[in-house]
Amino acid sequence: MSLPRKKTLPPDILRVLVEYIPSNSDLISLGLACGKATIHSLQAVWKCPRPNSLDAVEKLSHIVQLSSDSKTSNKGSQHLPYYYAWITGFDFSALDQESAAQVKTADLSILFTTPSLPFDTLNTTQLLAMPSALVERHVQSLKELNISSCTQYSSAALIQILTRSSTASILTNLDLSNCSVNDAVIIQISRTHTRLRRLNLQHSGNISDSAILALADHCPDLEELVISLPHGIVQSNKITDKSLKILAQSCSRMKVVLCTGQTRISELTMLAFEKYCPQLETYDFSTEQKFNIY
């Protein structure tokens, strides 16, 4: 006896399906073709908007504001009121530098203060107009934060942004490449964000053994660590075998560790990671500073 054939996919299957569709245009096509998938497709599109121009940022902030207003007043279309509540992050990495520098603070304020749900993803790459207070507002709920090339933030500002919240951190991925980073920043970050798994300090890692030891003490779940010197610094002797061996012993889940341009790292470090980190896939401790290591 054969079971009756279903005319539509179950909601649980539709939810899983949209997660594996990378293109927003494909998601929208699915939503238009299948009424049962419309809401799931729209939620996926609006989960982490990625504007690619200044005009797109302005339109995004306008729609978010309208969505919030229509929800409050119970006016608008069937789906418009829900857009703002579906947003769980923003990705500004598609903006070119010229557009990023011209983004209005008023638009950013709408985007970062209107959504009611906690963010879990934030990529502010190249977004030079981003006030630190808006980033700081959401750090406590973020799982992923990318503020690479954040030249507008000093080391002191980074400490305030990333460590001010007293709420237990759930941050797992942090990208501070091409930023102003020193030992104090990493020490404070390691004490606040103890669940870190991935830390990118490419071209910003002018740090010493003190920072490495802090990571070893407070971030046992580290899986990826990328460190290279800032542009203009060819070599350094601040990071040594001593701290890296302790890091290997403390962070046994390490899969990727890249630390280049350091003259006091020997074969002993490589042997320590091979011994204590069975999941290790990639490592590089070469003394030559590399332009792009990851």
Do residues 178 and 193 make contact, with C-beta atoms less than 8 angstroms apart? Answer: no
Distances, alpha carbon 266 to alpha carbons 27, 208, 259, 260, in Å: 50, 16, 12, 12
Q: CATH homologous superfamily for 147-163+170-294?
A: Ribonuclease Inhibitor (3.80.10.10)
Place of tokens 């539709």: 14
Note the pLDDT of residue 252.
98
Gap between the Cα atoms of 72 and 212, Å rounded: 49
Gap between the Cα atoms of 26 and 89, Å rounded: 20
Which tokens hold the place of 288?
């030559």
79 CB neighbour count, 10 Å cutoff:
15
Instruction: Tell me if residue 144 falls in helix, strand or coil.
Output: strand
State pLDDT tens for residues 216-228.
Answer: 999 999 999 999 9
Domain range list for the chain: 11-46, 147-163+170-294
Place of tokens 């299957």: 13
**Intervals of the chain under pLDDT 70:** 1-28, 30-37, 71-81, 166, 290-294
Note the pLDDT of residue 85.
80
Instruction: Provide the H-helix boundaries in the chain.
Output: 11-19, 24-33, 38-46, 54-73, 83-86, 97-102, 105-113, 132-138, 155-163, 183-192, 209-218, 241-250, 267-276
Place of tokens 């942090």: 174
Strand-pair category, 262-264 with 236-240: parallel
Nearest to 105 by CA among 84, 64, 133: 133
Do residues 37 and 31 make contact, with C-beta atoms less than 8 angstroms apart? Answer: yes
Question: Which residues, in sequence order, are CB contacts of 106 under 8 Å at separation 6+?
Answer: 61
Note the pLDDT of residue 208.
98
Nearest to 159 by CA among 137, 188, 136: 188
| Helix/strand/coil (H/E/C) assignment for every residue in 118-136 | CCCEEECCCCCCCCHHHHH
Nearest to 69 by CA among 87, 83, 54, 89: 83
Which tokens hold the place of 234?
């060819």
Strand-pair category, 121-123 with 144-146: parallel
Note the pLDDT of residue 1.
46
Gap between the Cα atoms of 188 and 99, Å rounded: 33
Note the pLDDT of residue 46.
83
* Residue 21, phi then psi, degrees to nearest 5: -105, 105
Distances, alpha carbon 195 to alpha carbons 50, 170, 190, 227, in Å: 26, 6, 9, 19
